[in-house]
Structure 1
Amino acid sequence: MSKVSKLRDLTTKAASADHQEAFDEQTADDADDRSFCLLLSAMLENSLDQANDHWIGEQTEDVRKALYDQDGLLATFARKITFVTVIGIAGPVARENLRLLRHVRNAFAHAKLPITFDTPEVATVCADLVRINIFDPPEEPDQMPGLTPRKRFQVVTNETMMRLLSSTGFKVLFWDDDGVEKTIIGGALP
């Protein structure tokens, strides 16, 4: 296997709970916007993979590679979003959020100019992100219009990841500011 093939394989390996601590450190408040966006987006893409894998079911390594490799059905962020929409995991609100999150991620990944979440083009897209309910029993989420673009990106991404993981049957743990555990709703995203 070539060095490049090994590198490509690395990009399709599933992340585990053991990786979460490193992700958390790398997405801390002091992380620069580009790194923060790219890593949080990678975590979101991992959650999409887990939701898709759960729906698809256990597969051989060869089938998994065929799905996720360079030209596979689930090779790109956009294709993964389309797939979770087609199979009913993501409804119209989640689909639009995922589409916007993907475009913000792509801007940070490919912009030839320095950009931040306060760059007007980024900020206006982030303003269109919609918070979704994550709790069972349902609560109407406060859309928090005063959130900074970076914080709105973070909140919507985290809510989406929690719902995607919960849709797989994984018990996502959440405590409110008073230390009270709250149940994350399972099933399809709105």
Structure 2
Amino acid sequence: MPNTFELTDKALKREMTLTSELNDQTDRGAAIVGVAWVEEEMQAAIKSFLEEDKKAWDRLFGRSGPLATLSSKIDLARLLGMCSKVIASDLHILREIRNEFAHTVVARDNSVLTFESPHVKDKCLALKCVAHEPVSDPRTAFIRACAILNADFYMHRYFGQKVSSGGLIHARIEQGVY
């Protein structure tokens, strides 16, 4: 079994690399890469909570599977108790922002789409997971939200805790642990 400290050190280095990458990106790049970062960790966390079955996994999470979309993964994470309703809402906001940048060439007012575009800015500044921080810049709020939510899902992989109950996500009946 790997040393937890090594895993944490590796994750910290990865987070620092990704944060640096996000800071160097255009707004469009930051939105797409930032949400991909969260989605990748969310999917790994979900996978760690499920039984290993490659064929079933591929059918569910593969390109055309019912759990292939970010929206369906967010909803599954919510149903598994991996995040609260508030965090699920934040994840959907991040998804909407990503989709806006990925599928819209210019802003609604025909200007360049940025984190300062009013509708994007409002969404970024409405993210509850960064409400405790004194963040007034929408890009900073977005990147901080991605970092926080990525770290939350990383923690799920290594500690197996449900947010809703504070307990393990599954009982280990064979060992008498309920």
Query: Residues of 2 paired with 1:67 and 1:165: CA distance?
Result: 21
Quote the Cα distance in structure 1 between the aligned partners of 2:78 and 2:45. Answer: 11
Structure 2 distance, partners of 1:105, 1:112, is 13
Indicate the residue corresponding to 1:173 in structure 2. none
Gaps spanning 5+ residues in structure 2: where? 1-9, 107-111, 165-178
For residues 99 and 155 of structure 2, what CA distance do their matches in structure 1 show? 26
* C-alpha deviation, 1:64, in angstroms: 2.2
What is the CA-CA distance between 1:112 and the residue it aligns to?
2.0
Counterpart secondary structure, 1:168: helix
Question: Match for residue 125 of structure 2?
Answer: 127
Q: Cα 1:189–1:108, aligned 2, differ >3 Å: closer, same or farther?
A: farther
Where does 1:96-175 land on structure 2 (aligned, <5 Å)? 96-113=89-106, 114-131=112-129, 142-144=132-134, 146-169=135-158
- 2:28 is the alignment partner of 1:34: yes
Q: 1:131, CA displacement in angstroms?
A: 2.2
Which of 23, 27, 46 matches 2:40? 46
The percent identity for this pair of structures is 24
- Name the structure with the higher helix share: 2
Report the counterpart of residue 90 of structure 1 in structure 2.
83
Distance in 2 of aligned mates of 1:158 and 1:189: 18
CA distance in 1 between partners of 2:124 and 2:79 (Å): 25
Is the Cα–Cα contact under 8 Å of residues 60 and 68 in structure 2 kept in the other structure? yes
8 Å contact 2:19–2:143 — kept in the other structure?
no
1:30-83 deviation digits (Å, cap 9, x = unpaired): 3211011101110111011011101113222x2222121232131000000010
Q: In 1, Cα distance between the equivalents of 2:157 and 2:132?
A: 26
String of CA shifts for 1:74-122, please: whole Å, max 9, x gaps. Answer: 1000000010011111111111111111100110110121311001110
Matched position secondary structure for 2:129: coil
Deviation, structure 1 residue 25:
5.0
Over aligned residues, Cα RMSD in angstroms? 2.4
Q: Which of 50, 55, 71 is the aligned partner of 2:64?
A: 71
TM-score, scaled to structure 2:
0.74
CA contact (8 A) 1:89 1:187 kept: yes
SS in 1 for 2:128: coil
- Is 1:130–1:143's contact at 8 Å kept on the other side of the alignment? no
- With over 3 angstroms needed to count, the CA separation of the structure-2 counterparts of 1:51 and 1:122, relative to structure 1, is same
Q: In the aligned structure 2, how far is the partner of 1:101 from the partner of 1:142?
A: 18
Aligned length: 148
Q: Is the Cα–Cα contact under 8 Å of residues 91 and 188 in structure 1 kept in the other structure? A: no
Q: Are the counterparts in 2 of residues 34 and 116 from structure 1 also a CA contact under 8 Å? A: yes
